[in-house]
Amino acid sequence: MAFVAADWTILRTTGANPNEIDYVGDAHAGAAPTYATGIELHRALQDFADDSADGTEEISIVDEVPSQRGGVDTNITLINGYHITPTAHEHLYDTSISQTHPVDGVQIYDGIQVFGNSTSIQVIQNGARLTNDFWNEAKMITAVSDATSNTSHRFMVLVRDTGADIDGRRLIGTQRVYGTTYTEFAIGGGTNRGNNVLALTANSNLNNATAQGTIDALTFVIAEGYVPIDGDGNGTPENYYVEWDTNGNSKNEAYEYSQNMIREGVAVTPVNGTFGLDPNIFRGITHSVAVTDLTSGIWVEPEALSWGTGATAGTGQLLAIDNTASGSATILYMQLLTGVLPNANTITGATNGASGTAGTVTGQVVSVPPIGASTGANIKGAYGVGIQEADLEAGDTLLDLTGAANNAPNNVTFSVIGLNITTTADYVLVGPDSAGSLQLDQLGQNAAVNTTVTSLVMDSAIPVDTPATGSIRCLNVSGEYVRHDYSAWTGSTFTITSYDFSPVGLDVAINANVFISYIDKVATATTETFNTVFNATRALRAIVRNGATVGGIAPIVPIDVAGSLGSGGGATTLSRVLDT
């Protein structure tokens, strides 16, 4: 689009702002707004300046030259007091413009060129979203986009004002239109004269097909701050900066909720999961910082952080710290908001004045949305994002705060279906199967036991698919398989409820048979289950008995059936026959 002279004014006498260049044509949403490149503005100014007398514009041959080209068409400097207004800057593109404003001093508007297929983007500057996103106006996009170069937007941003760079001329572009794949791109070293690139795409997202209003109505429980989660089910928790509880919703709905939480157009009020920040600028952990903690206060998750002065100054938001107690932290996790990274200077928390000396700073990969990626059924978590253990399934992967990947175990369930609890309840026992019979020698006792103990040690490793808690049956010298509840196991040792093996006959001999009773109880529901982590297909035997005669109803024929626990779990449905 060419420079339209009728849409511009150049006035040498405008009160406090002489030599003002202003756009006076239709507004962006008007009937016919116009837009001009920087070089088109420069050529027009030079044309006006060679006139013998003022025209509509108050400039002629007797006035000083208003502009100069900085060696390339995309670098224009306004000189001799000439300057554009904020309105004018919204109608110029494909350029940077430097000027000295009579009130606001030296200013620089740098050009932005967005490559991709985005229809709406946002810009974060100095820790906040620029709310005047005029570049998304449909008529401006039509005027400045260029399909040949895959350019969707071109515009300028004020990056230097009153003689000082705004946050070092750093910018972050984001594309967060709900229903698309979110993207972001940073100009981290500061903008340059001319066009600065933001690469932002808005491709369709097959895992984001649910209406925004539907997702908005869902409830998730999101715990902020340093939290241990056993993401790989090995019994040793890893640490994360946030924990998602799906609250009965699907994993993909959690992904969609994470998108919805930071979508373009969302309210600026912080929500659970954005750590006190405006959702429009929340990005998750950008850096981890080793600290030598100073005993000056207690860290608070989350809180504002600051460090340095002048060229060394910066701010961030604390998302997690490995120890909130005064003097005990060794590493903090933050989102950088403004300025430069801390470098051996003191980081201070805004809430209670906690502080620490910065050591090694490590940049982390930022994910949009903050939860990570979805396969449709599973979450591939972003750095430091945890999901509560009960919600994890095979295929989920969490990246802990060390950056290690933790693949969720395959938690499976075995069910015995069709139990009776209405008259006299059935007794159900599920144990290992060997050649069509209950395997009594699944394990063996590694030593004789004849005292009160709280643990039993086996003569071999306990199978890795043993439930975390449950019961075992142990053969005593009287020939009885006694049931013992265990609260934990590790290696070859079960932690059991305290039991006195000293009475004669209750003691256990070395190598005595032991087997895991996966279900071992009087039924309290028509379906009884146990849960464990799948390792390999396990043959099981389900024994159900009910020998009582109640109200003239005969007992059942004892049930002894095979079952199998596979990668998808397993079940046995009973066929009850009265013993008549």
Mean pLDDT lowest among 189-193, 232-236, 504-508: 232-236
Q: What is the DSSP letter of 261?
A: H
User: Which tokens is 386 given?
Assistant: 């945890």
Amino acid at 381: G
Closest alpha carbon to 223 in 21, 391, 15: 391
- Per-residue pLDDT of 375-432, as tens digits, reads 999 999 999 999 999 899 889 999 999 999 999 999 899 999 999 998 889 999 999 9
- Per-residue pLDDT of 517-556, as tens digits, reads 999 999 999 999 999 999 899 999 999 999 988 777 778 9
Q: What is the pLDDT of residue 306?
A: 98
Residue ranges of domains in the chain, CATH in brackets: 5-109 (no CATH), 111-131+146-199 (no CATH), 212-279+368-407 (no CATH), 287-363 (2.40.30), 412-573 (no CATH)
Residues found in the chain = 580
Q: What is the pLDDT of residue 13?
A: 73
Three-state DSSP string of 465-502 = CCCCCEEEEEECCCCCEEEEEEEEEECCEEEEEEEECC
User: What percentage of residues in the chain have a pLDDT greater than 90?
Assistant: 91
Pair 120, 331: CB distance under 8 Å: no
**β partners of residue 364:** none
What band does 295 get if pLDDT is binned at 50, 70 and 90? confident
Long-range contacts of 84-88 (CB under 8 A, 24+ apart): 84/20, 84/21, 84/22, 84/109, 85/20, 85/21, 85/22, 85/23, 86/158, 87/22, 87/23, 88/8, 88/21, 88/22, 88/23
- Per-residue pLDDT of 326-349, as tens digits, reads 899 999 999 999 999 999 999 999
CA 499 to chain CA centroid, Å, is: 47
Pair 174, 200: CB distance under 8 Å: yes
Q: Decide if pLDDT at 17 tops 80.
A: no
- Per-residue pLDDT of 134-184, as tens digits, reads 999 999 999 999 999 999 999 999 999 999 999 999 999 999 999 999 999
Q: What is the pLDDT of residue 275?
A: 98
Q: What is the pLDDT of residue 14?
A: 59
Q: Decide if pLDDT at 128 tops 90.
A: yes
Pair 420, 426: CB distance under 8 Å: yes
Report d(CA 439, CA 517) in Å as an integer: 10
Burial class (CB in 10 A: 0-12, 13-18, 19+), 422: exposed
Question: 3-state DSSP call for residue 363?
Answer: strand
Q: What is the pLDDT of residue 15?
A: 61
What band does 119 get if pLDDT is binned at 50, 70 and 90? very high
Pair 233, 408: CB distance under 8 Å: yes
User: What percentage of residues in the chain have a pLDDT greater than 70?
Assistant: 99
Q: What is the pLDDT of residue 260?
A: 97
Q: What is the pLDDT of residue 230?
A: 94
Question: Residue 369: is the preceding peptide bond cis (ω within 30°)?
Answer: yes
Pair 27, 33: CB distance under 8 Å: yes
Question: Residue 555: is the preceding peptide bond cis (ω within 30°)?
Answer: no
H or E, element range at 252: helix 251-261
- Give 3-state DSSP helix, strand, coil % of the chain, rounded to 5: 10, 40, 50
Identify which has the larger pLDDT, 57 or 91: 91
Q: What is the pTM of this model?
A: 0.83
What band does 56 get if pLDDT is binned at 50, 70 and 90? confident
Q: Decide if pLDDT at 504 tops 90.
A: yes
Q: What is the mean pLDDT of the chain?
A: 95
- Arithmetic mean of pLDDT, 245-266: 97
What band does 16 get if pLDDT is binned at 50, 70 and 90? low
